[in-house]
Chains A and B, each alone.
Chain A
């Protein structure tokens, strides 16, 4: 009886080797995953014989695999770092860097918060910098007119690209943040926390605010006397919400790009990214930027325009990508 059962299971299990099929392997950031997944899904409807897989091992984890030549495309929520460039160079992996969408961070507070109508970057720094852990504990520590209640903070977990970017822009040093806040890699947890606590403040990706508009209040950014910027699609696209928005990238292995089905996929990606990026909750780039990206693919322009430096808010990407000369081409 037992032997029978095992036997039946064994023969019904398809133990044969893979038949030759065309694979495209993507991995990397969980943020960019949403765009790449959407593109992969649509691409699968057009080219049924190509199998596209997308993993989530984080931008850094993805680059490790990418530079070891294990994957074709890396999803990256930040530009490639110096050490990663060296790793790729030493393995002879050449890559093309393509921006595909913007992600924006929105500052959120509880619906019942009546005092915070806008916030400046200085105030955000005052809240989030490490030394404020001792000095900014109550809302009234920021402004005497505000409630004498404990400021309950919610933010991104230290392993996320959102955390790196937010601290870089707000505190001035990537990874530098006070640590006495509720952190989560999952933005939904931050949304729930802020929706529950009246005296809370947090930051999440724009899509998470948009999906929970009924539960949260968003705080616009005060840049100067006459610049009060709401985090929304239009302001990200026209560059006014530049400080808390960041580009998302894919990095394509040049030798993989020589395969026709990978090239097809990249062409398809850049063509459909505007629509799909919007659909999954990010913001499309300008048409100009997409066509500059297409040119980089056509001319096989290798390297990163950031040359190992991080993305600092406020630079116009169109200018960076205008030049088609290869960077650090070995």
Chain B
């Protein structure tokens, strides 16, 4: 076997085999998980389940309120966290000077990205639900989740902004562009694909979160479609979590169905992001 332009040494072979084994372990685990979910949940992929309301009878139970709840949350979180995240990242990279303040903010940001999600749930409960008096509403839930993924969005965006070659900026300045022009016409367009990738990853995390929302007081039984920003709501992970802990095996099937739909929702959001990114890259002729 050849690696690069040299014949592989024994050490390289062993390392290669190790990487291969570990990767295939991870992939097998993923395949088994998805396979098990599809096996028990595929039957549930019908319109009755998709458009139904929760019920104590497993065969009548559906996920419409949870599905729409999740979709609304994702949409609101994207609307709130991406602009704030990108602007903060721009501030960090383009305006903030190197120094103790930047260093301190930097450490804070990285720490925030690692804070357990339940802590954000508690913050959200205190700030959004109680202090701002938003109640246990979709808005409060979306703001909490936005807070949760904001550090991730900022870090990913900063990374993308740093990838824009310095020579581009210098060329822009050399042509007499102002700082604002440079950011607006050079930095943002060229870092956008990276920013979108990072934001999509963060949003994917947001879709799966249940703990902070439960802590916030997201509900489990909601038999109506959320009809506004202040409506009570539930989400797919919460619904799945509730079904899986019930005694009847039929509900476990429902849970698998809900998880399957969650995965499909995730894939839709991801492919939307990839599409947008491809489009942008083509325009920038980087693709």
Does the CB pair B221–A54 fall under 8 Å? yes
- Which residue in B54, B219, B247 is a CB contact (below 8 Å) of A188? B247
Does the CB pair A37–B245 fall under 8 Å? no
- Which residue in B54, B244, B247 is a CB contact (below 8 Å) of A210? B247
- Chain A residues within 8 Å of B248, by CB: 211
Known: A15-B229, A18-B227, A188-B247. A280 touches B56 (CB 8 A): yes
B15 to nearest A CB, angstroms? 38
CA distance A37 to B217 in the complex (A): 16
A208 to nearest B CB, angstroms? 5
- Which residue in B72, B219, B246 is a CB contact (below 8 Å) of A34? B246
A164 to nearest B CB, angstroms? 18
CA distance A210 to B224 in the complex (A): 32
Does the CB pair A205–B228 fall under 8 Å? no
Does the CB pair A33–B220 fall under 8 Å? yes
Does the CB pair A37–B56 fall under 8 Å? yes
- Is A92 on the interface with B (CB-CB < 8 A)? no
Write out, one digit per residue, whether chain A residues 296-324 have a CB within 8 A of any chain B CB (1) or not (0): 00000000000000000000000000000
Does the CB pair A19–B219 fall under 8 Å? no
- Which residue in B75, B214, B223, B246 is a CB contact (below 8 Å) of A52? B223
Which of A30, A53, A187 gathers the greatest number of chain B CB atoms within 10 Å?
A: A53
- Is B218 on the interface with A (CB-CB < 8 A)? yes
Write out, one digit per residue, whether chain A residues 5-47 have a CB within 8 A of any chain B CB (1) or not (0): 1000110011111110001010100100110111011001000
- Which residue in A37, A187, A210, A212 is a CB contact (below 8 Å) of B221? A37
Does the CB pair B223–A40 fall under 8 Å? yes
Docked complex: B174-231 residues within 8 A CB-CB of A: 214-215, 217-224, 227-231
- Which residue in B224, B227, B245, B246 is a CB contact (below 8 Å) of A14? B227
Docked complex: B237-287 residues within 8 A CB-CB of A: 242, 244-249, 252, 276, 279-280
CA distance A56 to B234 in the complex (A): 11
- Chain A residues within 8 Å of B223, by CB: 40-41, 44, 51-52
- Is A83 on the interface with B (CB-CB < 8 A)? no
- Is A145 on the interface with B (CB-CB < 8 A)? no
- Chain A residues within 8 Å of B151, by CB: none
Q: What does DSSP make chain B's interface, helix, strand, loop or mixed?
A: loop
- Is B126 on the interface with A (CB-CB < 8 A)? no
B248 to nearest A CB, angstroms? 6
CA distance A187 to B232 in the complex (A): 28
- Chain B residues within 8 Å of A27, by CB: 217, 219
Does the CB pair A55–B56 fall under 8 Å? no
- Which residue in A2, A70, A212, A281 is a CB contact (below 8 Å) of B276? A2
- Is A57 on the interface with B (CB-CB < 8 A)? yes
- Chain B residues within 8 Å of A14, by CB: 227-228
Residue of A with least CB distance to B71: A13
- Chain B residues within 8 Å of A38, by CB: 56
- Is B55 on the interface with A (CB-CB < 8 A)? yes
- Which residue in B215, B230, B244, B279 is a CB contact (below 8 Å) of A17? B230
CA distance A1 to B249 in the complex (A): 47
A62 to nearest B CB, angstroms? 10
Does the CB pair B217–A55 fall under 8 Å? yes
Residue of B with least CB distance to A184: B245
Docked complex: A250-277 residues within 8 A CB-CB of B: 276
CA distance A39 to B230 in the complex (A): 25
Docked complex: A123-150 residues within 8 A CB-CB of B: none
Does the CB pair B228–A281 fall under 8 Å? no
- Chain A residues within 8 Å of B231, by CB: 18
B135 to nearest A CB, angstroms? 8
- Is A65 on the interface with B (CB-CB < 8 A)? yes
Which of B72, B214, B224 gathers the greatest number of chain A CB atoms within 10 Å?
A: B224
Write out, one digit per residue, whether chain B residues 51-83 have a CB within 8 A of any chain A CB (1) or not (0): 000111000000000000000100100010000
CA distance A229 to B222 in the complex (A): 39
**12 pairs, CB–CB < 8 Å, chain A vs chain B:** A19-B227, A33-B221, A36-B221, A41-B54, A51-B232, A53-B222, A53-B232, A55-B136, A57-B215, A186-B245, A207-B247, A210-B247
Residues of B participating in the A interface, judged by any CB pair closer than 8 Å: 54-56, 72, 75, 79, 136, 214-215, 217-224, 227-232, 242, 244-249, 252, 276, 279-280
